[in-house]
């Protein structure tokens, strides 16, 4: 009998699936016009009326449920089972690491294992699918929320920062935050500013592929993150993911210097204008820099979790309508991050709007859409003109971290002088020193 309760299907899709006697987890074949898709029927979330099939390749395909679509039940799939394996006896000599889950593909690793969706992780789930964790840490888990990372807001950052702080104050040896990769680098920058004077590491981790794909990176990333959280000698916010497309090494990037640079690759995260903090290979943590804050359980965490929501990013491009700057000012923006071109430019057509924004007390800052390198607004007339209008150059921060820093800064103070001072202060390694040899900044090379 068809079991589609809580499957999320409705309307035509539900009718077609019922007619073919399909249940969630079954192997089904869906024929639509000229194409046929065979795979596991998975539940439907969100809007839309398509039937979702998880293909052998691991990707999900959505097929619109129209009258000419044919659905066939090919076989019984693995039925969802909610019986978790027992938690192994924990070794009290291992470091105590808490894994906090926020949602995303890494949390869905467990969900999709059996064809069922459970958007949360429990310690027993984790040990069931990544038994190696029992050898490297006493793992505790906490579901902070379960949100696709693209839907996270500044309020969620605040909530998450407070939750992490609670655990650190309870004395854990490290915190791992499982996160969707889409906005993970924004969150890692946010936590870097919010959690100051850390005694232990806080490591964000995600997955580019869910566990039922042969190339899943969920387990290796998680092991690397837990290892770093429990044992690494640094005490900063980091982001742990594959270093290359192979499983050889997990690299921990500094929270303020990391960016998602590929839509699908496992090594999508790259350190920009800086080197990674550490590497985890063969369960061994190796530091990649000597510039880091040392782990020190006695250090007293300083929590500054507030972010201003009234901050907008305006990316410059040829033909940009400068009235979008006026629009943000009228909407009550307290800060605007210009994503300028080259060394830090926008067209002269924007000057009046910027002048007006600054006059109204809006903090206007600028980072470069080049991503790599440092803004230098003293080289060309346009840069100098922008400086004289009061635009604050964001050094070698790429736009996403610059935006988060502006949000955080305006969440700390209402005083413009204080805000400029904070913007120009290196809070969490978000600047690289100016003395770095210029030609060494670029972190990528042509393929051979």
Sites for a second copy among residues 231-270 (CB under 8 A):
243-245, 251, 260-265, 267-268, 270
State the nearest-atom distance from the C-beta of 422 to a second copy, in Å: 19
Which range binds a second copy by CB under 8 A, 17-25, 65-73, 80-88, 326-334? 326-334
Q: What is the rounded CA–CA span in Å between residue 177 and residue 19?
A: 42
Closest approach of a second copy to the CB of residue 400, in Å: 7
Active site residue 105: yes
Catalytic residue among 31, 49, 162, 182: 182
CA distance 148 to 105: 9
Question: Should residue 358 be labelled a site residue for a second copy when binding is judged by CB under 8 A?
Answer: no
Using CA atoms, how far apart are residues 16 and 313, in angstroms rounded to an integer?
Answer: 45
Q: What is the DSSP letter of 73?
A: E
Burial 331-368 (b: 16+ CB within 10 A, else e): eebbbbbbbbbbbbbbeeebbebbbebbeeebbbbbbb
Scanning 78-86, 166-174, 289-297, 309-317 for contacts with a second copy by CB under 8 A, the matching segment is 309-317
SS3 152: coil
| Residue 45 touching a second copy (CB under 8 A) | yes
Contact 337, 409 (CB under 8 A): no
CA angle (23 as vertex; 33, 116 as ends), nearest 5: 105
Provide, rounded to whole angstroms, the least separation between the CB of residue 342 and a second copy: 4
Structure tokens at 21: 């006697």
The active-site residue, picked from 102, 141, 158, 181, is 181
Q: Using an 8 Å Cβ cutoff, are 115 and 24 in contact? A: yes
Q: Does residue 181 have an active-site annotation?
A: yes
DSSP 170-200: TT-SEEEEE--STTHHHHHHHHHHHEES-SS
Q: Which of 33, 360, 384, 424 binds a second copy (CB under 8 A)?
A: 384
The distance of closest approach from Cβ of residue 363 to a second copy in the complex, given in angstroms and rounded to an integer, is 16
Q: Tell me whether residue 387 is exposed, middle or buried, using C-beta atoms within 10 angstroms of its C-beta: 0 to 12, 13 to 18, 19 or more.
A: middle
| Residue 116 touches a second copy, criterion: CB under 8 A | no
- Owner of token pair 């393929």: 447
Tell me how far, at minimum, the Cβ of 426 lies from a second copy, in Å: 19
Question: Are the C-beta atoms of residues 175 and 167 closer than 8 Å to each other?
Answer: yes
Distance of closest approach, residue 416 Cβ to a second copy, in angstroms: 20
Rounded to the nearest whole angstrom, what is the least distance from the CB of residue 371 to a second copy in the complex? 6
# residues near a second copy by CB under 8 A: 96
Tell me 350's DSSP state: G
Q: Per rule CB under 8 A, is residue 376 in the interface with a second copy?
A: yes
Q: Which is nearer to a second copy, 140 or 267 (CB)?
A: 267
69 or 371: whose CB is closer to a second copy? 371
Count CB-CB contacts under 10 A for residue 402. Answer: 28
Interacting residues of 345 by C-beta distance below 8 A, sequence separation 6+: 316, 377, 380, 382, 383, 386
| Binding characters for a second copy, 167-196, by CB under 8 A (x = yes) | --------------xxx--xx---------
**How many Å apart are CA 196 and CA 303, to the nearest integer?**
6
Binding of a second copy by 382 (CB under 8 A): yes
User: First vs last Cα of the chain: how many Å apart?
Assistant: 56
Q: Choose between 256 and 368: whose C-beta lies nearer to a second copy.
A: 368
Verify whether residue 440 is a known catalytic residue.
no
> Applying CB under 8 A, does 446 fall inside the site for a second copy?
yes
User: Is position 182 annotated as part of the catalytic site?
Assistant: yes
Question: For a second copy, which residue of 370, 390, 412, 420 counts as binding (CB under 8 A)?
Answer: 370
Site string for a second copy, 74-113 (x = CB under 8 A): ----------------------------------------
Catalytic residues: 105, 181-182, 260
């Amino acid at each position: 009998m068809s079991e589609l309760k809580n499957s999320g299907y409705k309307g035509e899709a539900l009718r077609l699936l019922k007619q073919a006697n399909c249940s969630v987890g079954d192997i089904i074949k869906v024929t639509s016009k000229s194409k046929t898709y065979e795979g596991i029927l998975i539940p439907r979330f969100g809007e839309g009326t398509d039937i979702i099939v998880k293909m052998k390749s691991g990707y999900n395909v959505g097929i619109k449920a129209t009258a000419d679509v044919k659905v066939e039940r090919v076989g019984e799939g693995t039925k969802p089972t909610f019986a978790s394996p027992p938690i192994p006896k924990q070794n009290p000599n291992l470091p105590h690491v808490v894994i906090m889950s926020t949602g995303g593909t890494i949390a869905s690793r467990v969900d999709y294992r059996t064809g069922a969706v459970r958007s949360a992780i429990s310690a027993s789930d984790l040990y069931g699918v990544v038994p190696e964790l029992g050898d490297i840490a006493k793992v505790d888990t906490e579901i902070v929320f379960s949100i696709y990372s693209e839907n996270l807001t500044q309020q969620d950052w605040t909530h998450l920062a407070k939750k992490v702080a609670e655990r650190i104050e309870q004395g854990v040896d490290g915190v791992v935050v499982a996160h969707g990769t889409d906005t993970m680098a924004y969150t890692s920058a946010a936590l870097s500013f919010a959690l100051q004077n850390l005694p232990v590491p806080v490591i964000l981790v995600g997955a580019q592929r869910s566990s039922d794909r042969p190339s899943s990176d969920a387990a290796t990333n998680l092991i690397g993150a837990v290892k770093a959280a429990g044992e690494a000698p640094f005490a900063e916010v980091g982001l742990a993911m594959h270093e290359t497309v192979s499983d050889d090494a997990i690299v921990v990037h500094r929270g303020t210097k990391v960016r998602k640079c590929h839509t699908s690759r496992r090594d999508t995260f790259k350190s920009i204008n800086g080197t990674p903090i550490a590497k985890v290979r063969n369960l061994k943590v190796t530091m990649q820099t000597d510039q880091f804050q040392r782990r020190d359980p006695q250090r007293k965490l300083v929590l500054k979790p507030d972010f201003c929501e009234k901050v907008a990013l305006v990316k410059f491009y040829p033909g940009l309508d400068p009235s979008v700057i006026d629009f943000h000012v009228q909407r009550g923006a307290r800060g605007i991050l210009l994503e300028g071109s080259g060394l830090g430019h926008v067209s002269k057509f924007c000057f009046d709007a910027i002048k007006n924004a600054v006059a109204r007390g809006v903090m206007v800052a600028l980072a470069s859409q080049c991503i790599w390198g440092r803004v230098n607004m003293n080289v060309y007339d346009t840069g100098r003109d922008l400086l004289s209008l009061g635009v604050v150059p964001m050094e070698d921060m790429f736009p996403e971290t610059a935006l988060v820093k502006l949000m955080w800064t305006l969440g700390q103070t209402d005083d413009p002088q204080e805000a400029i001072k904070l913007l120009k202060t290196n809070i969490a390694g978000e600047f690289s020193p100016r003395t770095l040899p210029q030609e060494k900044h670029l972190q990528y090379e042509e393929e051979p």
